[in-house]
Amino acid sequence: MHKNLEVIGQILEFIRHRRYEQGDRLLSERDFSAKFGVTRQYIREAIATLEAVRVVERRSNSGIYLRDVDAEGSIDAMVLQVETGGVLKRSEVADSMELRRILEVQAVRLACERCDNDDLEFLANNLEETKKKIDAGESIAVEDRQFHQRIIASTRNKALVRVVNSFYELSRQRRDIYFSDLERCQASYEQHIEIFEAIKRRRVGQASKCMENHLTRTVAAWEILLSTQRSDQIEDDSE
């Protein structure tokens, strides 16, 4: 792990361990530096990152304070939490799954209108690679992500691309688990074919319906998987 991410992870774990609440004053840069045995420059960079994603705030001539993460924490903050070894609450997983489904259903509608021949060629090749992986008994986690991300990219909406891609960053480890099951790989592949055919024919309603069904099935499968978790905190979802 990059040193900066390591320090951020240490600070986040310290906050969780000490059970800080909204508005609580945290340690100073000097105290964090002494506690973790790193230079103040590393602490300063870590705090700046946590400020950017609205986890903490600096108050002039006062110190560093914890913000109301539940109310104001950004998607970037959730990604950062997972990247540094933290976990998300079950409610956060459910919320992110719901939002991702809403966004991707709308995205496929735009893709039908805006995708070009390069996008269609990429998706066709992706399906071929996916089939090869399945025939070889291998996971299609990478190919699945590429398929969905290309659809998002074909909307030509950079803000949408950034938001949805964040969900895939949240779910990297969970996706590895999900696609370790070859039956789920096969089901996802077959649903991708349906989505691709609808996009290729510019059938907006059909593409939207196929994507909705695809993600609904994925959520249902994840609800079963997550029900086996004993803790109320896990990493994240996705398909």
Domain-located, residue 239: no
> Per-residue pLDDT averaged across 78-89, rounded?
66
Domain-located, residue 40: yes
Domain-located, residue 83: no
Q: What is the pLDDT of residue 50?
A: 84
Are residues 104 and 70 both part of a single domain?
A: no
Work out the pLDDT band at 101, boundaries 50, 70, 90.
confident
Are residues 73 and 140 both part of a single domain?
A: no
Domains contained in the chain, number: 2
Tokens of 17: 């361990």
CATH number for 66: 1.10.10.10
Tokens of 138: 């291998």
Domain-located, residue 84: no
**159 near 193, Cβ under 8 Å?**
no
Work out the pLDDT band at 237, boundaries 50, 70, 90.
very low
Q: What is the pLDDT of residue 235?
A: 43
Q: Which residue has the higher pLDDT, 91 or 206?
A: 206
Work out the pLDDT band at 68, boundaries 50, 70, 90.
low
pLDDT at 118 over 50: yes
Return the ∠ at Cα 24 (arms to 20 and 28), rounded to 5°. 100
Domain that holds residue 162: 89-234
Give the Cα separation of 56 and 237 in Å (integer): 26
Domain final residue pick, 46, 78, 110 = 78
